[in-house]
Amino acid sequence: MDAAGQLPLRVGFVGAGRMAQAIAQGLIQAGKVEAQHVLASAPTDRNLCHFRALGCQTTHLNKEVLQSCSLVIFATKPHVLPVVLTEVAHVVTAEHILVSVAAGVSLSILEELLPPNTRVLRVSPNLPCVVQEGAMVIARGRHARGSETKLLQNLLEACGWCEEVPEAYVDIHTGLSGSGVAFVCTFSEALAEGAVKMGMPSDLAHRIAAQTLLGTAKMLLHEGRHPAQLRTEVCTPGGTTIYGLHALEQGGLRAATMSAVEAATGRAKELSRK
């Protein structure tokens, strides 16, 4: 028991892939949960070895996770999740808080596959959770209360930024932040290749491009300004930046980026309907 005489929180993971590993590592490193109180399940040892390296407990039985932990994060592939939920539904109790990070599986489907009144939440994470710089949103089911949402938010902030949103925003988040990682990488690559074209060595160009993205993001977040404000500060009359921005506008960067988020969001909604 802890200093307040309460039993320590036990967190379970059904599915032990990269996202589950990232969340577990964040929770443990931030001191939110002790490694010995984390239990993960997977069909084989291929991914469970990473949990063991963190000091966590592991099993091949999904129901054992439900029987041992009150907060359970389902991190399986989306098409596998309904099968897994059907398998463990008989051991779900009123004490459980169940969380899904599977893209495209709605709260209504989750609640339909689980016993009545089960407290269910959805989390949409993104890959930077691996380095504790994720952007995550939470949507709660009909029976989840604000206290469960706050508990989950507090835990997940060990992996980055986290906020509660209506479920309708989850697919948009997938298009903006989940797919957005690839969009940003494409832009970073293009920035570096422009420098390579002008004569800079590739390794150096890619490091500078990545650091430029990191520094810009920190300024936007820490100073709370709109991107247009920072862009205006960099853009002096007749200077280098305005010439570069003109070239980007001629290439349709802004419209293409908006279309990319729209296309990715549309696909996320399509997968949700399926």
Q: Was 77 annotated as part of a binding site?
A: yes
**Does 150 show up as a binding residue in the annotation?**
no
The answer to whether 166 is a known ligand-binding residue is: no
Q: Helix count (H) and strand count (E) of the chain?
A: 12, 8
Containing H/E element for 41?
strand 38-41
Does the annotation place 82 within a ligand binding site? no
Residue 117 marked as a ligand binder: no
Q: How deeply is 227 buried, as exposed, middle or buried, from its count of CB atoms within 10 A (0-12, 13-18, 19+)?
A: exposed
Of residues 146, 233, 228, 137, the one with CA closest to residue 180 = 137
Two tokens, residue 66: 């439900």
Triad 257, 132, 179: Cα angle to 5°: 20
Q: How far is 13 from 91, CA to CA, in rounded Å?
A: 15
CB 10 within 8 A of CB 71: yes
Tokens 């570069």 map to which residue?
Answer: 244
Binding residues for NADPH: 62
Annotated binding site for NADP(+): 75-78
Binding-site residues, in ranges, read: 62, 75-78
